[in-house]
Chains A and B, each alone.
Chain A
């Protein structure tokens, strides 16, 4: 989860999120270079060290056309690389469905047995000491670690969005539509997310908790719940 004054991304827990964090650093670096250039030139102009009483500026016009084009290409190439990486065919070992309702998520694991459950936020009054307010749920989404997981996201009533920042996942839940996303949890852990599309009064109170565990534990959990 994010700390109270956190500005940056949460630690990446999937390979795609690691790529996104690296790309964000790259894009921010480009933005910083441009902003510092503009600020420097602005300071010069405001302190009257630079004026613009020129009539012919062919060379600089060429420079400030070519350079931005190069900058845009420098941004576009890694961005497209990651976009295609996200859509790679990765043969998921598990498919689960996340269905948004007002105001909870329900999950279905129907690959082997029919496992269906609802996931409601734990009210603050019932929250054990040390647990995270407005983020904990009664039933977590358990997935096997280091395995590609396919998530089919949809909604039952209004628009919702299934998001887990640490895994680099955010997919809109649209009634009447099945959206597909996939992720691979690189390590065991508990990853928190929140509904990311305004859906009514309790939009802020329908969190998502993904618990990534070794395959053996995932299998025993799913057998226990589906029995």
Chain B
């Protein structure tokens, strides 16, 4: 029982730190990084004019009605 609290506290504080860093890492690589990659992928080969022509053909633009 000697120094039980101290050793337990040390163990659990380390555990708590690992849990919190683990959660943050999970979020970073599960959500944040994929989102950054998705934006980069979207704009890598993005053709705004092609997108605009598709919107125009669909008739959704007030300033550019389809012919």
Determine if chain A interacts with chain B.
yes
Stretch at the interface among A45-53, A166-174, A198-206: A45-53
A30–B34 Cα distance when bound, in Å, is 18
Interface contact A18-B39, CB-CB below 8 Å: yes
Question: In the assembled complex, which residues on chain A have CB atoms less than 8 Å from the CB atom of B39?
Answer: 12, 18
Most buried by A among B15, B48, B51: B48
Does chain B have a CB within 8 A of A83?
A: no
Sort chain B's interface into a size bin.
20 to 34
Beyond A33-B20, A37-B20, A49-B12, is A28–B27 a contact (Cβ under 8 Å)?
Answer: yes
Sort chain A's interface into a size bin.
35 or more
Beyond A25-B35, A140-B63, A218-B63, is A145–B15 a contact (Cβ under 8 Å)?
Answer: no
Question: In the assembled complex, which residues on chain B have CB atoms less than 8 Å from the CB atom of A218?
Answer: 63
- Closest beta carbon of chain B to A23's beta carbon, Å: 10
Question: In the assembled complex, which residues on chain B have CB atoms less than 8 Å from the CB atom of A226?
Answer: none
Question: In the assembled complex, which residues on chain B have CB atoms less than 8 Å from the CB atom of A40?
Answer: 12, 15-16, 19-20
Interface residues of A in 28-49 (CB under 8 A from B): 28-30, 32-34, 36-37, 40-41, 44, 49
Q: Which residue of B lies closest to A224 (CB)?
A: B63
Could you list some 19 contacts between A and B, CB below 8 A?
A18-B39, A22-B32, A25-B32, A32-B24, A33-B21, A34-B20, A37-B16, A40-B20, A44-B12, A53-B5, A142-B63, A145-B52, A186-B43, A188-B51, A189-B55, A190-B55, A213-B52, A213-B63, A217-B61
- Interface of A with B (CB < 8 Å)? 12, 18, 21-22, 25-26, 28-30, 32-34, 36-37, 40-41, 44, 49-51, 53-54, 139-140, 142, 145-146, 186-190, 211, 213-214, 217-218, 220-221
